[in-house]
Chain A
Amino acid sequence: MARSVWKGPFVDGYLLNKAEASRGSGRNEIIKIWTRRSTILPQFVGLTFGVYNGHKFLPVQVNENMVGHKFGEFSPTRTFHGHSADKKARRG
């Protein structure tokens, strides 16, 4: 069952404080978080988070398309083996 709309999106409180501190600085920074359950809010767009996957903090660069998803969706907990032979990485 979906979460009731009247409650609003769930976000851990400490995450809002860290994001607020980072947004003001405008530097090359990463926000380490453990809260995989928190919803990605519009004010997080453009920030880079290090989302803990139980082992390490995987960098997550938030863009507009990720708003409404949970942080945990972008930091898999299982080991990934291999990749496409001709896959490219774009520098953000």
Chain B
Amino acid sequence: MGVVGRPHGVRGLLHVHSYTADPADLPAYGPFEDGRGRRFSLRWRGEGIAELSELIDGRPVPVADRSQAEKLVNLSLYADRDRLPPAGGDEFYLADLIGLQAVGADGTPLGQVDAVHDYGAGASLEIGALFVPFTRAAVPVVDIAAGRITVVPPDEIVVPGRADDAA
């Protein structure tokens, strides 16, 4: 969910880079784990500057000074998937879509969703060499629980006799 950056000041504050869509939401996903079993809580103290506390026996112990803060530089903060609010309606977390098995309308395996792209013109799924728009027409069924999506690759428009179609 985030990465700890350089220390800020002498009172144990740290720069934290948030990977959430809105950085202000980051503390709500805590407590965080660091991949080595340690747990941390986080509280913003300024723009991009946070106070980290290590949870020892459920009790928060704040990072007290700069030397302690320096030991946390580059620490990755992870949160349980369950802490994310449920996606509603036709919205899906990218993390849930990536890795799903794609099958055709007739059940033919097409591959695995490698990435989800969104450059401001609607989301699209990368399935091997295939790119499909993430629309109801092209992806009619998304079954996260079964780990599968049904893909109907769109037809390509060809205008006969145009030189550009041969390019």
Contacts and interface: CB of A to CB of B under 8 A. Distances in A.
B128 to A, nearest CB: 11
B131 A50 contact: yes
A63 to B, nearest CB: 8
Contacts of B165: 14
B95 interface: yes
B87 A88 contact: yes
Interface string B97-129: 100000000000000000011111111100001
Nearest to A73: B120
B94 A59 contact: no
Given A86-B25, A89-B123, A90-B123, A28 B131 contact: no
B162 A14 contact: yes
A59 B122 contact: yes
Interface of A: 12, 14, 17-18, 21-22, 25, 27-32, 34, 48, 50, 56-63, 66, 73-76, 80, 82-92
Interface of B: 1-2, 19-21, 25, 29, 79, 84, 87, 90-95, 97, 116-124, 129, 131-139, 142, 152, 154-157, 159, 162-165, 167
